[in-house]
Chain A
Amino acid sequence: GENVEQHPSTLSVQEGDSAVIKCTYSDSASNYFPWYKQELGKRPQLIIDIRSNVGEKKDQRIAVTLNKTAKHFSLHITETQPEDSAVYFCAAKDYKLSFGAGTTVTVRA
């Protein structure tokens, strides 16, 4: 089955700086890569996703890049704000979603 690894497990950034989270996957058949944001005790919310036929996608301050050859994808958050503080999960989908272990992001004011 699919195995998704996510790094780092924790990330602390100064407000206004950028944050980068990296994930690798094992199954070359995976073709969909979403990113979820989860605030404490709440449900994961989809923030951005990318499909295997695309190399990069942006949505305001958030961007995701995908390298199919290397089997890795990354989340980039620019101009971080305190409300960006949360746990972020990457995932990869072949026939079902497999999740990374999560990254706790703290934005220092």
Chain B
Amino acid sequence: DGGITQSPKYLFRKEGQNVTLSCEQNLNHDAMYWYRQDPGQGLRLIYYSQIVNDFQKGDIAEGYSVSREKKESFPLTVTSAQKNPTAFYLCASSPSPGADGYTFGSGTRLTVV
């Protein structure tokens, strides 16, 4: 499925709960990214990682956390501090931090119930 897999496809969260979205790639890419997509706002960068054991905040990092313990995996945790978490979340990767081509996963739609 394009070498980058996100799971689950749909996720429901109760208010006050933390949830973790999975992103796995088998492309041997160094860099990975998490974007949030809301209607009419395009894609906004949450966190990115240029190499294992390193990650940086993007434009809207508040209420989110990530880890990069393995090259293949870049999970995103949506914490209870994120006040409006309902959105479509997209993970992407690129061969290196400076590489142009991003490969996107198929996304996870998170809904707070």
Enumerate 7 A-B pairs (CB-CB under 8 Å) in ascending A order: A42-B106, A43-B2, A43-B106, A49-B100, A89-B43, A98-B45, A101-B40
Give the secondary structure class of B's interface: loop
- Who on chain A is nearest to B40 by CB? A101
Check if A68 is an interface residue, CB within 8 A of chain B.
Answer: no
Q: Mark B24-62, 1 if CB is under 8 A from A, else 0.
A: 000000000101000011111100100000000011000
Which residues of B come within 8 Å of A, CB atoms?
A: 2, 33, 35, 40-45, 48, 58-59, 88, 90, 97-98, 100-102, 104-107, 109
Check if A97 is an interface residue, CB within 8 A of chain B.
Answer: yes
Q: How many inter-chain residue pairs (CB < 8 Å) link A and B?
A: 48
Distance (whole angstroms) from the CB of A55 to the closest CB of chain B = 18
A interface, how many residues as a size bin? 20 to 34
A1 touches B59 (CB 8 A): yes
- Who on chain B is nearest to A87 by CB? B42
B90 touches A44 (CB 8 A): yes
